[in-house]
Amino acid sequence: MKPKHLTILALSILALSLFGYKASKPIIRNDFKKYFDLYDADGSFVLYDQKNNEYTFYNREQSTQAFTPASTFKICNSLIGLETGVIKNENYVLPWDSIKRRFIWDTDTDLKTAYKNSTVWYYQELARRVEGQQMKYWLDKAHYGNADTSGGIDKFWLSGGLRISPQQQIDFLRRLHDNKLPFSQRSVDIVKKIMIQYDTLDYVIRAKTGWGDEPERFIGWYVGYVEKGDNVYYFSTCMQTRGKDDRYIAAARKAITFDILDDLGIVMK
Provide φ and ψ at 239, rounded to 5°.
-105, 140
Sheet holding 218-228, edge to edge: 25-28, 54-58, 41-49, 231-241, 218-228, 204-213, 196-199
C-alpha distance from residue 92 to each of 126, 141, 201 (Å): 11, 25, 30
Can you tell me the distance from the alpha carbon of 129 to that of 17, in angstroms, rounded to the nearest whole number? 32
The residues carrying an active-site annotation are 71
Residues 6+ apart with CB under 8 A from 168: 66, 144, 145
| Paired residues of 41 in beta bridges | 241
